[in-house]
Amino acid sequence: MLKERLKTILDQQDSFCFPAPVEDMPHGDMPGDKVIISDALIPHAQTLFKLLVKLMCDKGEEKYVISIFGGSGSGKSVTTSLLTYYFNEAGIKTYAMSGDNYPRRIPEYNDAERISIFRSEGLKGLVKEKLYSVDVQKQLSALWEKETDSDPKETEEYPWLKVYQEYGRKGLKGYLGEEKEQDFDQVNEILASFKRGDEKIWMKRMGRSEEQRWYDEVDFSDTDVLILEWTHSGAEQVKGVDIAVCLRSTPEETKAYRLFRARDGKADSAFVTMVLEIEQEKLDHRMEKADVILSKEGEVLRP
C-alpha cells in the first residue's frame, strides 16, 4: 500500500540513501526533450523529495498529483526527473507529465499569435485614445519592420508608442498562460482520469511542426504519483493538484537560460523581455498558493 511505503520512507529519512543518477533515468514525456542532470540540483531535489513524502503522509491520499512550476531555467525538468527517479527507486511508481505538450499551437504559430495580439491590441489602443493617424501608421510600420515596436526606448522618439505598448501588453497578458493559449481542459481531464484510477490514458505528444501531433496510450494501472511539470501548472485553471511546488527564479535568470539554450533566436529582444515579465507576474501571483516554494539556491521558502 502507498500509505505504508510513504510512512516507511518518512520513518527512515535520516538514514535514507538516495540512489546515484544513472544515464537512463526517466524524464518527462515531451518529445525530443533532453535533460542533463546538474550536480547542483541534486541536493535541491533530495530536499524536495523529503518534504513531499511528509506532505503526502499528512494528506493520506491513494494517488497523488504533484505540480512543479516555475520559469524557464528554474530547474523544473531536472528536478522532476530526479524526483521521478527517487520515487520509483523507493517503490512508488511515478510518471512525469510535461505540460508543454498541451498548448493550442505549435511554438512557431504561438509566437506569431503573441505578436499579432500585441500589435492588434496596440493599434486599437491608439484609435481609442485618438492618437492614430496616417503618419503614425507609417512610423509604426517602420518599427514593425525593425521589430522594435515593443521597445520602451523607442517611446523617447515616438511618445504615442507608450500608449500602443500599454494596450498591447494588456492584450498579451490576457493571452499568455491562459485558456486561449493553453489547453487546460485536456490537462484536467488527464489528471481526473488518473485520480479516479483509469488504467489506460491517451497522452498527447507535440513536436515543433504542425504534423507532429499524436497520442500515446500510457499504462497507469499501478502508478501512484503523477508529476505535472509545466510553467503553468500552478495556474488556477489546473484542477486536481494535491501538492503544488514552485521553483522560484527571476526574469533575468530565465532570459540567461534561454540565451544559453538558444531556444529562441530573439531571446534578448524587447518583445521576449516583455513576455518574460508578464509570465513572471503570473508566476509571482500563482506562487502565493503553492504548498512548497524552493529558491534557485535550494532554500526552502515554504512551508
pLDDT number for residue 251: 64
Taking only the tens place, the pLDDT of each residue in 176-198 is 999 999 999 999 999 999 999 99
Taking only the tens place, the pLDDT of each residue in 244-287 is 999 998 766 666 665 555 555 566 799 999 999 999 999 999 99
Taking only the tens place, the pLDDT of each residue in 42-84 is 999 999 999 999 999 999 999 999 999 999 889 999 999 999 9
pLDDT number for residue 229: 97
CA dist 246 and 291 (Å) reads 8
- For the segment 143-161, the average pLDDT, to the nearest whole number, is 97
Helix/strand/coil percent split, the chain, to 5: 50, 15, 40
pLDDT number for residue 262: 52
Q: Does residue 95 surpass a pLDDT of 90? A: yes
pTM to 2 decimal places: 0.92
pLDDT number for residue 256: 66
pLDDT number for residue 27: 84
62-93 CB burial, b ≥16 within 10 A, e <16: eebbbbbbbbbbbbbbbbbbbbbbbbbebebe
- For the segment 288-300, the average pLDDT, to the nearest whole number, is 95
Domains and CATH numbers, the chain: 2-101+183-302 (3.40.50.300), 107-173 (no CATH)
Q: CB of 227 within 8 A of CB of 68?
A: yes
